[in-house]
Chain A
Amino acid sequence: MKDLSDLIEHNRFVGRESLLWLWFESELFEANLRPSSADPCSLWIETRLALAFERDDALLKSATPSSSPEAKQALRQGKLPREARLRIVLGDREYGCLYKADTLALSSVALPTELGKKDEVHEVFYERMRLLEELEAVFEALWSDFLAMRLGPAYPKLLGMWRAWAHAEPVDPKAYRALKERALAERRPSLAPKKR
């Protein structure tokens, strides 16, 4: 059996690549994401974006850090996004969180709760868990789609599109969508999570 510490420590960079992919899709589709096994959502990077390559770190803080010239410059230098503050809208519910790509962990999560201190504590707990799990289901669905692309034959083309995007060259959203749809259609059914 593969050693557990290997499973945990090996390929942590794939988490950074998944965040890169979220950033790419968010920019290409003007924040409108369509995970294949969850409802459509809006997702964009706001206020904080950290990029890293080995020990070389770049922290960008502004209203829209991912659209700053420094962000793409960092990508062209070989850096990948390490963490980002994300805003996610699901229907009429708006979430905020800091996504840490190396561990896929969420911190400083802001949930659209309606209950508060005055409400019954169990109800408060169930509401918070339901909202947290709803948010995580979106990330799981997106992660699953990303994995299908990263491990499938479409990856070299995706990489070409990523590079063009990082170098401010045009990327055709239709061509990317077609590539993605093919990749997701070709993945093994067991890799696709059930729609919640």
Chain B
Amino acid sequence: MGALRGSIGTSRFYVAPASGSDEAGTGKSSRMRIGVDLPEGFPAAAMKRIRANVFEPLSPDDDANDGHGWCSMLDPMDLELDHEKVFFNEYVCLGLRIDRWFVPKPLLEAQLREAEASLLAKKGLDKLGKVARADLKLMVLKKLRRQLVPVTKSIDLVWSLDSHVVHFFSQSPKMHLLAQELFEKTLRYRLVPEAPGTAAERRGLSAEERKLFDSLEQTTLAREEDAR
């Protein structure tokens, strides 16, 4: 959870205009813009887009094995999002919910063997083709999913509208990508990961300082005599 309890592991992102947007600039500037000017009526427009990208529960009949979308930060099972559940004073608070079907491999293999034997007997065949076997596997998988519930995970995301900083309470690069994609799709702003280069840019380096920063070479404290 992170934002509400437990020890915190957070990755920081800066909110920036989406690439190609008017705010991002013409492309002639050597500086990347960090921070955005929120338009009037932002909360209502944001809520509409958040609701459009809310998590949709998985169905056993879907081909996809997982799905993700927004949920309430306070309760991952709560998908009825409204202003009060998302806007906490200057913070936009969301849960990134990721559900995944987990069918134990031994169970799947046993059921698949049984289904394959039954089909072969029914059709009077010795062996199934590759495509037929893949179809059968998907059918067995969907049948087994009906007896299970998906594994649910939720990661807090907190956007401070004052500082243009987003805290995402996971350090997994895979989760970062999901959050970045969904955030940009939903709110039309880009999440720029904090790193020494972006943190330096955020400080507002001059063109000369940026050039200097780009040309830095890694420091070594070794002296020649240390190598001997």
B27 — which chain A residues lie within 8 A by C-beta? 1
B181 — which chain A residues lie within 8 A by C-beta? none
* CB of A83 to closest CB in B, whole Å: 12
- Count of residues in B whose CB is under 8 Å from the partner chain: 54
Complex CA distance for A86 and B167, rounded to whole angstroms = 20
Question: Among B5, B74, B88, B203, which residue has its beta carbon within 8 angstroms of that of A191?
Answer: B203
Say yes or no: A105-B12 contact (C-beta < 8 A), given A2-B30, A151-B212, A163-B223.
yes
> Is B43 at the interface (CB under 8 A from chain A)?
no
* CB of B171 to closest CB in A, whole Å: 6
Q: Please state if A80 and B198 are interface contacts (CB–CB under 8 Å).
A: no
> Is A56 at the interface (CB under 8 A from chain B)?
no
Say yes or no: A105-B11 contact (C-beta < 8 A), given A125-B88, A151-B209.
yes
Complex CA distance for A94 and B10, rounded to whole angstroms = 18
Say yes or no: A124-B220 contact (C-beta < 8 A), given A6-B197, A8-B198, A104-B194.
no
Please, which residue of chain B has its CB at the minimum distance from the CB of A137? B163
* CB of A73 to closest CB in B, whole Å: 9
Q: Please state if B7 and A109 are interface contacts (CB–CB under 8 Å).
A: yes
Question: Among A129, A143, A166, which residue has its beta carbon within 8 angstroms of that of B3?
Answer: A129
> Is B200 at the interface (CB under 8 A from chain A)?
yes
B29 — which chain A residues lie within 8 A by C-beta? 1
- A133-161 to B contact mask, C-beta < 8 Å, 1/0: 10010000001100100110000000100
- A1-45 to B contact mask, C-beta < 8 Å, 1/0: 110101111111111011010000000000000000000000000
Q: Please state if B201 and A7 are interface contacts (CB–CB under 8 Å).
A: yes
> Is B196 at the interface (CB under 8 A from chain A)?
yes
Complex CA distance for A15 and B25, rounded to whole angstroms = 28
Q: How large is the interface on A (under 10, 10 to 19, 20 to 34, 35 or more residues)?
A: 35 or more
- In B201-217, the 8 Å CB interface with A consists of 201, 203-206, 209, 212-214, 216
B201 — which chain A residues lie within 8 A by C-beta? 7
Please, which residue of chain A has its CB at the minimum distance from the CB of B223? A163
Please, which residue of chain A has its CB at the minimum distance from the CB of B218? A13
The interface residues of chain B, by DSSP majority, are classed as: loop
> Is A167 at the interface (CB under 8 A from chain B)?
yes
- A101-122 to B contact mask, C-beta < 8 Å, 1/0: 0111111111100000100011
Please, which residue of chain B has its CB at the minimum distance from the CB of A100? B171
* CB of A162 to closest CB in B, whole Å: 6
Question: Among A20, A109, A190, which residue has its beta carbon within 8 angstroms of that of B219?
Answer: A20
A76 — which chain B residues lie within 8 A by C-beta? 221-223, 226
Say yes or no: A191-B205 contact (C-beta < 8 A), given A77-B222, A78-B220, A162-B221.
yes
Q: Please state if B195 and A147 are interface contacts (CB–CB under 8 Å).
A: no
Question: Among B32, B203, B221, B226, which residue has its beta carbon within 8 angstroms of that of A193?
Answer: B203
B194 — which chain A residues lie within 8 A by C-beta? 103-105
Complex A-B: 15 CB contacts under 8 Å: A2-B31, A6-B197, A7-B195, A7-B198, A12-B197, A17-B219, A77-B222, A104-B195, A107-B10, A109-B7, A121-B4, A121-B74, A122-B88, A150-B216, A191-B209
A-B pairs, top 6 by smallest CB distance, nearest first, are: A107-B9, A109-B8, A14-B196, A166-B221, A15-B196, A7-B197
Q: A13-B219, A110-B7, A191-B209 are in contact. List 9 more A-B contacts (CB 8 A).
A: A12-B195, A78-B222, A102-B196, A106-B10, A109-B9, A111-B8, A124-B4, A144-B203, A159-B219
